[in-house]
Amino acid sequence: MLPYVGRRALTAIPTLFLVTVMVFGIQRSLPGDPALILAGEQQDPAVIAFIREKYRLDDPLPVQYVAWVAQLARGDLGRSLRTNERVLHLIAAKLPVTIELAVLSLLVGIAIALPLGILAAVRRGTAVDYGGTALALTGLSVPNFWLGIMLILFVSVRLGWLPASGYVPLSEGVWENVKRMIMPAFVLGTGLAAVLMRQMRSSMLGVLKQDFVRTAHAKGQRGASVVVRHAARNALIPVTTILGLQLGALLSGAVLTEQVFTIPGFGKLIVDAVFNRDYAVVQGVVLITATSYILINLLVDLAYAVLDPRIGAR
């Protein structure tokens, strides 16, 4: 098990290196000069020159890259070009918000997808199956931002049940926090549920055909017990892969949902930073996102080993 973990961790290093090169390169290849944006409406040439010098925007790209990596090596992600805040502080403030949203969405997704997926597989070809599949397709097809705005208009404006948008930290009250998270988590969760449910259904169908399930039935175990204790656990392995990938995607991909519900998380941080050409923030956020993506994939691989000990032994 330990050598397996070590091997997997080592492969992450070159990936991270490539990530830094790509983050830096893509960002610099965008048109748009951060100094012009930072100088604001007034476009004072002296201010533009000062900004270019301060952030070394006139240095050759390799020099800028090396300077950034050297800074990273010291654990310093730099400061936001726009607000002068430390990027690390910004990320530390935003990360918990997006993690909370991702976890809640994941819970919503799992709560919908697993029972529906199992049910659709067990009752294959019935109304339950078709209904579930139709629901999943709807979840996949409806754009997040549209569903978000519709929910705001209906639940907040029409019914006045939940606040329309915004975020309140957990420290200021659990209910205050949760009631603002319900709609965004639902919006993200339904999209996730659609993917998970289809995966769960097909995986379950495969498992249900296998010999050990027939054996369990033959031994006289009750249907529900066979489905839950034997079939579902095995069917979960491919679903876990998807779940891991989706969690990574959730961390960075809550972009639209955070915009719609004005949640000050990672997604919103990066969108605003890209539009403002806030190089330091974009680079910092993408780097952290990529690192967490790699970490999550590592954890998923380790989870296989727990679910199926044969994998770790290989």
The residue ranges that bind another protein (CB under 8 A) are: 30-34, 36-47, 50-51, 54, 80, 82-85, 90, 93, 149, 152-153, 156-157, 160, 163-167, 259-262, 264, 268-269, 272, 275-277
> For another protein, which is the closer residue by CB, 166 or 309?
166
**Smallest distance from the beta carbon of 84 to another protein, in angstroms?**
5
Considering only CA atoms, which of 84, 79, 53, 83 is closest in space to residue 68?
Answer: 79
Angle at 158 between CA 157 and CA 161, to 5 degrees: 75
Tokens representing 229 are: 């204790």
> For another protein, which is the closer residue by CB, 206 or 264?
264
Q: Which residues contact 23 (CB under 8 A, 6 or more apart)?
A: 282, 283, 286, 287, 290
**Smallest distance from the beta carbon of 130 to another protein, in angstroms?**
35
114 half-sphere exposure, CB direction, 13 A CA radius: 19
> For another protein, which is the closer residue by CB, 78 or 117?
78
CB 37, CB 277: distance < 8 Å: yes
> For another protein, which is the closer residue by CB, 58 or 85?
85
Considering only CA atoms, which of 288, 243, 267, 241 is closest in space to residue 77?
Answer: 288
> For another protein, which is the closer residue by CB, 203 or 276?
276
**Smallest distance from the beta carbon of 184 to another protein, in angstroms?**
12
> For another protein, which is the closer residue by CB, 19 or 273?
273
**Radius of gyration over every alpha carbon of the chain, rounded to an integer in angstroms:** 24
**Smallest distance from the beta carbon of 68 to another protein, in angstroms?**
20
**Smallest distance from the beta carbon of 77 to another protein, in angstroms?**
14
**Smallest distance from the beta carbon of 246 to another protein, in angstroms?**
25
**Within 10 A of 62 (CB to CB), how many other CB atoms are there?**
9
Q: Which residue has the tokens 């997604």?
A: 267
